[in-house]
Structure 1
Amino acid sequence: MLRAKITLVVIAAAALAMTLAAALSYRGVSDVVAEQFDRALDERAVTAVALLGVDRTPPVRPDTTEQVLSAAGAVRPLDPARAALPVPESALAVARGARASAREDITVDGAEYGVLTAALPGGGAVMVAQHYAGAERIDHAFLWRVPWTTVAATALSALLSWLALDRILRPVRRLARVTRDITTTQDLSTPLPPAGRDEIGQLTRSFTSMLAALRRSRDQQQRLVQDASHELRTPLTSVRGSAELLQRGRGRLAPEDEEQILTTLVTEAAALDTLVRELVDLATDRSTEEEPAEVDLPAAAEDAAHRHRQRTGRAITVTTRGPVPVRARPRAVRRCVDNLLSNALKFSPEDTAVTVHVEGARLFVRDRGPGIPPGERAAVFDRFYRGPRTQAVPGSGLGLAIVHDLVSADDGTVFAAAAPDGGAEVGFDLPPHSPTGR
């Protein structure tokens, strides 16, 4: 569960942070305690030297003991009730005048003392010993409290993070619940929870956009299936009727009637083959597997014009004015130019020429046909659209729809307009190619 995983991460981070803080604090506290211990020992030694200089002894303290050390090494405790301290070599050196002071740690009956030996003005030295029990007590108290404080702080962090994550992840749980419902019911119209301004809101808006795209895709697929079934029904009905006529009149039809029926079968079969091929191309768009690259529009136009001249024997010219390279899928661009030329040749009279114009990042084909009324210029790119003037012209009504889909996939736009001297201009604009990409 995401909530539990994040809580564990928070607990681990809090425990690590508090452990590091405790370790650094312990080191700082130890340094401060040691500094205070040394300062107290120095102050006690200064006091003892001053009092001994006026033949007085310092007041007795439970954690310290003092003794006078002669140059010969004789020891005289200032408190007769306390045992004499062992004398290290450094303390003897101070008593003999070889050193001004000495600092040592000694152990007496298992207890550790810090000893400071200071020289006396009249000769000899005074040894001041302070028990480490107070410093050790502070150290032990700190070490005992740190684990409990860390555990308590970690538990509090876990509780607060658990409660906070419940509120933070609530929109995610709502989104997950709605998406499960959509997966179960397949109802893409189910509304998603309201989107906030944070990252979860961005995720919700992304899901909303994805659902909208899926709804559009499903609607387009359903329309494609419905339109395709309608368009397929006409050539299939013609093929079936012609075949049944041949079957019933086998051997009894005049040769010219039989030839006409066979011609109808071949024509309708070819139309059916073209329709099926265009439907497959429109539904799958195999060109999307191709990566966009720099495309030379004049070269693409010349190549398409050459192929259509050889195929149809028609006059096709190519003109250019300030062409620029465009960024698109090369095979998709060739398919678009082929479809535009096929469409123009289909609507132009046999004795007229068709012209391909390339201007900058724009390519359009000009025909000499009946033209396109203003109200139909956007509709000609719809699937299966056949205007009133073109009902009798053979075709599937998918050529320009394929152009629209291919150009849109490359961030381009399509257009249809009236030619200045009659006919129509149909083409597309593509984004110019940039050496650094889009």
Structure 2
Amino acid sequence: MTLAAVMSYRGVGALVGDELERGLDDRASTVATLLAAGRTPPARPGTTEQTVSAGGTVRPLTPGRAALPVPPEALRVARTGTGEARADVLVGGTEYGTLTRPLPGGGAVMVGQSHERAARVDDQFLWRITWTTAAAVALAAVLGWLVLGRILRPVRRLAGATRRITTTQDLATPLPPAGSDEIGQLTHSFAHMLAALRRSRDQQRRLVQDASHELRTPLTSVRGSAELLQRARGRLAPEDEEQILTTLVTETAALDDLVRELVELATDRYAQEEPEAVDLAVAAEDGARRVRRRTGRTVLVVEDDAHPPVPVRARPRAVQRCVDNLLSNAVKFSPEGTPVTVRVAGGELAVRDRGPGIAPAERHAVFDRFYRGSRTQATPGSGLGLAIVHDIVTADAGTVFATTAEGGGAEVGFRLPPYGRAAPDGPAPRRRARGAPGTAAGPPDGGGEGRLRER
């Protein structure tokens, strides 16, 4: 605004100067015409006219007006009779702008215009524009303060709420009402973030409570067995001592598995892994090979020809962990000598065991932390394996499912989104060619929808 005022002042100054120059041109032409006609020009306020001879003699044309000083440029015009001369001179402390033009009969006419009126106009404009600019700046400042205060008011309320949350650690602190503008969107984002933090805190609290409950059982067993050995001090029969030591080893191993799975559940080990194209058939075969080597159990991997496997978008190591958990779960609940079947169809992978199955009312609950089905209470385990599968799969925008298979046993698995739908560009998934060593054609035990091919 100040810059605009300065530019306006300069523009008005130039305009006044141009007007003064035009006035001098018009007055000089008028005086020359009147002199040529033998007439004396009428007096005009603020203007002085005179003639200058070739010898430099000055004859005032306006009675009572002081003569104008003749600068060298004006004298040259009077002598040569050509061109014109402009100059600023001082007369009695007043500045005049002068214009000298030649006369037809010799000599020159010199017209002077006082700058006093122009200076007065300039000063008045400067004063007015100064006060106008100052008033406009003050008004803009007041309006800006009011508008900015209105805009920042919800920001201050939101900042106050966040300070209270930081101080009190109370994630239930209400946030100010949110509108539809950018501040409202920011408030909505904060609200969603707080909701996520509340869910995370609740999950952590439940995890700690459940973990403390689950850890108490093996710890109590270990402590009881150790105290019994301490009190007996070699007085136990060998078979009793062997049984207590076996209990110690079993419970310690269970405690180790429980702590390991608790750590994995509480800290997402695969959060830094980037999703990419994953071949579920390859993941199933790799997991089956590890289980065969570790347990010696029969694990069949079958593909549905009606719905051939497609690459899915997921984290490779996280998917492998899901497959390992599902296979370990199936091996644990399948009777010795019965096979475990891994079925791959499209973007779905399911593991079937030959155990007691899952009751319809428990098909969702089996994915909860530390949940033990009514039919598997006597089977050792932490109850965290399927919970880990659920967390990993849902983080990759997939779903989990559990049902009772035809002919007995349970079928537990997951579905993941196709890779091409989420990320059309990227490395091709690694595939094992059909007919590779270790594969054979034929229907698997248990069958299924469509035609299945055993790997």
TM-score per shorter chain, which class?
A: 0.7 to 0.9
Asked if 1 retains the 8 angstrom alpha-carbon contact of 2:66 and 2:91, the reply is no
Q: How does 1:234-245 map to 2 (within 5 A)?
A: 234-245=217-228
1:359 partner amino acid:
A
| Alignment equivalent of 1:187, drawn from 159, 166, 170 | 170
> Does structure 1 residue 302 correspond to structure 2 residue 302?
no
Please, which of 212, 215, 226 is the counterpart of residue 195 of structure 2?
Answer: 212
Q: Is 2:150 the partner of 1:139?
A: no
| Map of 2:360 onto structure 1 | 374
Q: Which residue of 2 aligns with 1:290?
A: 273
User: 1:352 is aligned with what amino acid?
Assistant: T
Distance 1:357 1:31 in 2: 91
Change in 2 beyond 3 A, CA 1:80/1:186: closer
User: Using the alignment, how far apart are the partners of 1:411 and 1:137 within structure 2?
Assistant: 80
Q: Deviations over 1:178-225 (max 9, x none)?
A: 333333443322322211112222222222212212221221122112
Work out which of the residue numbers 159, 167, 184 in structure 1 matches 2:150. 167
Alignment match of 2:314 (pick from 315, 328, 333) = 328
Amino acid at match of 2:249: V
Task: State the partner residue of 2:44.
Answer: 61
Structure 1 residues 251 and 89: alpha-carbon distance in aligned structure 2, compared to 1, 3 A threshold: closer
The secondary structure found in structure 2 opposite 1:289 is coil
| Structure 1 residue matching 2:329: 3-state secondary structure | helix
* Residue of structure 2 aligned with 1:79, choices 27, 52, 62: 62
- In 2, the alpha carbon distance for the partners of 1:414 and 1:73 equals 113
Q: SS of 1:390's equivalent?
A: coil
Task: Please name the residue that 1:314 is paired with.
Answer: 297
CA distance in 1, matches of 2:400, 2:183: 37
The structure that is helix-richer by fraction is 1
* Aligned position for 2:371: 385
1:105-134 C-alpha deviation (Å, 9 max, x unpaired): 344455432222334455543221112222
Quote the offset at 1:88 in angstroms.
Answer: 4.2
Q: Does 1:413 align with 2:399?
A: yes
* Contact preservation (8 Å) 2:50, 2:61: yes
Amino acid at match of 1:364: A
Corresponding residue for residue 434 of structure 2: none
Cα pair 2:81 2:107 within 8 Å, conserved: no
1:112 aligns with 2:95: yes
Are positions 1:272 and 2:258 aligned together?
A: no
Bigger shift: 84-93 or 314-323?
84-93
Q: Structure 1 residues 113 and 402, CA, compared in 2 at 3 Å: closer, same or farther?
A: same
Query: For residues 110 and 324 of structure 1, what CA distance do their matches in structure 2 show?
Result: 100
In the TM superposition, residue 147 of structure 1 has moved relative to its aligned partner by: 4.4
Taking the aligned partners of 1:79 and 1:103, their CA distance within structure 2 comes to 20
Q: Does 1:201 align with 2:201?
A: no
Q: Matches of 2:60 and 2:406 in 1, distance apart?
A: 126
Asked if structure 1 preserves the Cα contact closer than 8 Å seen for 2:81 and 2:106, the reply is no
Indicate how the Cα distance of structure 1 residues 108 and 296 shifts in structure 2: closer, same or farther if over 3 A, else same: farther
Equivalent position of 1:8 in the other structure: none
Give secondary structure in 1 for the equivalent of 2:372: coil
Distance 2:238 2:19 in 1: 127
Partners of 1:223 and 1:210 in 2: CA distance: 20
Taking the aligned partners of 2:397 and 2:407, their CA distance within structure 1 comes to 31
Once residues 32 and 323 of structure 1 are traced to their aligned partners in structure 2, the CA distance between those partners, rounded to angstroms, is: 84
Amino acid at match of 2:245: L
Residue matched to 2:437: none
RMSD (Å) for aligned C-alpha atoms: 2.6
Question: Which residue is equivalent to 1:350?
Answer: 336
Aligned to 1:14: none
The separation in 1 between residues aligned to 2:134 and 2:309, in whole angstroms, is: 74
Distance 2:128 2:316 in 1: 74
Query: In 2 relative to 1, CA 99–195 (structure 1 residues): closer, same or farther, beyond 3 Å?
Result: same
What is the TM-score normalised by the length of structure 2? 0.83
Shift of 1:343: 0.9
1:274–1:26 Cα change, 3 Å: same
Q: TM-score, normalised by structure 1?
A: 0.86
Mapped to 1, the partners of 2:407 and 2:19 lie a distance apart of 105
1:35 shift after superposition = 1.6
CA distance in 2, matches of 1:258, 1:293: 53
Q: CA deviation at 1:73?
A: 4.2
Instruction: Check conservation: 2:275, 2:316, Cα contact below 8 A.
Output: yes
Question: Are the counterparts in 1 of residues 258 and 382 from structure 2 also a CA contact under 8 Å?
Answer: yes
**Which segments of 5 or more consecutive residues in structure 1 lack a partner in the other structure?**
1-17
Q: Deviations over 1:125-147 (max 9, x none)?
A: 32211122222233333444444
Aligned partner of 2:22 in structure 1 is 39
Q: Which moved more, 1:363-372 or 1:240-249?
A: 240-249
Instruction: Compute the displacement of 1:90 (Å).
Output: 4.6
Deviation at 1:100, TM superposition (A): 5.6
The corresponding residue for 1:5 is none
